[in-house]
């Protein structure tokens, strides 16, 4: 899709716009002529990204440093940006937790549910209503290949991505008649800070690794044409095999691969010892 400014309007809001996949979307949208609002916690990274984007693409960039998990943060963000009538919203801020479900701190689980589920749902509700009023707009959700089945050791993360996948597909159908395009992008492993900070040696897993720019390009090509997209052929096979296999098989397979790929020195901290039955 070439003229996204004409189709959706000038301004795009990107949560998680200072790094990784969100920043890649920022560059792709800037190249199409969109002005951007970048949202993340760290002001320094936001400023650095904004500087580059402005210099490379001659666009306007506004940065908003906020923790989206703070009380009322989605409403505050919406209030701060509603006057520019954002035509596109990319919901890329997200977090993960790795380890046996009972080994991960309860507040880490709750924060993840807030950032990965409640925040994007609230923002889609707030911006989506205005887009429907205007009869045009686009919302891009970031889910994951892990959202296509339960995944042991990242159980809460995978479940949050399943929520986003289902929510986005339903909203695609609900909002299409009102001129609003909703898309869920479900990347596999992508070279960003997120997997780099996980206690997992992903080289031990038989999965392909993509650059964030590929994810953003595939996403923007699919926006307006599809409800959901999985970048990469191998990832597509992983996502769609679930339709033909018994439901628990991919869950067991990913659980096995992930456990095998955990860094050895991290295992005692992340795994529960299995009590042997006599």
Ligand X SMILES: NC(=O)c1ccc[n+]([C@@H]2O[C@H](COP(=O)([O-])OP(=O)(O)OC[C@H]3O[C@@H](n4cnc5c(N)ncnc54)[C@H](OP(=O)(O)O)[C@@H]3O)[C@@H](O)[C@H]2O)c1
**Using rule CB under 6 A, residue 61 touches ligand X:** no
Contact residue for ligand X among 35, 81, 92, 251 (CB under 6 A): 92
**String marking each residue 189-228 x if it binds ligand X according to CB under 6 A:** xx-xxxx---------------------------------
Binding segment for ligand X (CB under 6 A), chosen from 26-34, 86-94, 97-105, 261-269, is: 86-94
State residue 198 phi and psi, 5-degree precision: -80, 150
Q: Determine contact, residues 95/118, Cβ cutoff 8 Å.
A: no
Span 176-195, contacts to ligand X by CB under 6 A: 187, 189-190, 192-195
Calpha distance 258→254 (Å, rounded): 6
- Name which of 9 and 115 has its Cβ closer to ligand X: 115
Contact residue for ligand X among 26, 30, 90, 93 (CB under 6 A): 93
Calpha distance 216→191 (Å, rounded): 13
Contact residue for ligand X among 35, 69, 98, 149 (CB under 6 A): 69
**Using rule CB under 6 A, residue 88 touches ligand X:** no
Span 13-52, contacts to ligand X by CB under 6 A: 16, 18-22, 40-42, 45
Contact residue for ligand X among 142, 165, 180, 220 (CB under 6 A): 142
Binding segment for ligand X (CB under 6 A), chosen from 88-96, 124-132, 222-230, 240-248, is: 88-96
- Name which of 59 and 216 has its Cβ closer to ligand X: 216
Q: Which of 223, 120, 217, 117 is nearest to 180 (CA)?
A: 223
Least distance in Å: CB of 262 to ligand X? 16
**Using rule CB under 6 A, residue 94 touches ligand X:** yes
The residue ranges that bind ligand X (CB under 6 A) are 16, 18-22, 40-42, 45, 67-69, 92-95, 115, 142, 144, 187, 189-190, 192-195
């Amino acid at each position: 899709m070439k003229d996204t400014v004409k189709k959706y309007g000038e301004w795009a809001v990107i949560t998680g716009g200072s790094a990784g996949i969100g920043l890649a979307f920022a560059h792709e949208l800037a190249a199409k002529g969109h002005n951007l609002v970048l949202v993340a916690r760290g002001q320094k990274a936001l400023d650095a990204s904004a500087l580059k984007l402005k210099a490379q693409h001659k666009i306007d960039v506004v940065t908003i440093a906020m923790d989206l998990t703070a009380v009322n943060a989605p409403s505050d963000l919406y209030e701060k940006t509603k006057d520019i009538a954002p035509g596109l919203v990319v919901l890329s801020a997200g977090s993960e937790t790795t380890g046996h479900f009972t080994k991960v701190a309860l507040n880490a689980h709750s924060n993840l549910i807030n950032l990965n589920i409640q925040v994007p749902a609230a923002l889609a509700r707030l911006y989506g209503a205005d887009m429907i009023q205007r009869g045009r707009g686009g919302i891009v959700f970031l889910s994951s290949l892990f959202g296509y089945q339960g995944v042991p050791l990242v159980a809460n993360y995978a479940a949050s991505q399943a929520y986003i996948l289902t929510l986005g597909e339903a909203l695609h159908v609900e909002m299409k008649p009102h001129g609003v395009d909703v898309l869920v992008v479900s990347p596999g492993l992508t070279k960003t800070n997120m997997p780099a900070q996980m206690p997992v040696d992903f080289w031990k897993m038989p999965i392909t690794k993509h650059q964030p720019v590929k994810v953003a390009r595939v996403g923007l090509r699919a926006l307006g044409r599809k409800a959901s997209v999985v970048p990469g052929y191998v990832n597509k096979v992983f996502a769609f095999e679930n339709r033909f296999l018994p439901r628990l098989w991919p869950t067991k397979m990913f659980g096995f691969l992930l456990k095998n790929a955990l860094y050895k020195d991290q295992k005692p901290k992340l795994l529960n010892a299995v009590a042997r039955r006599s």
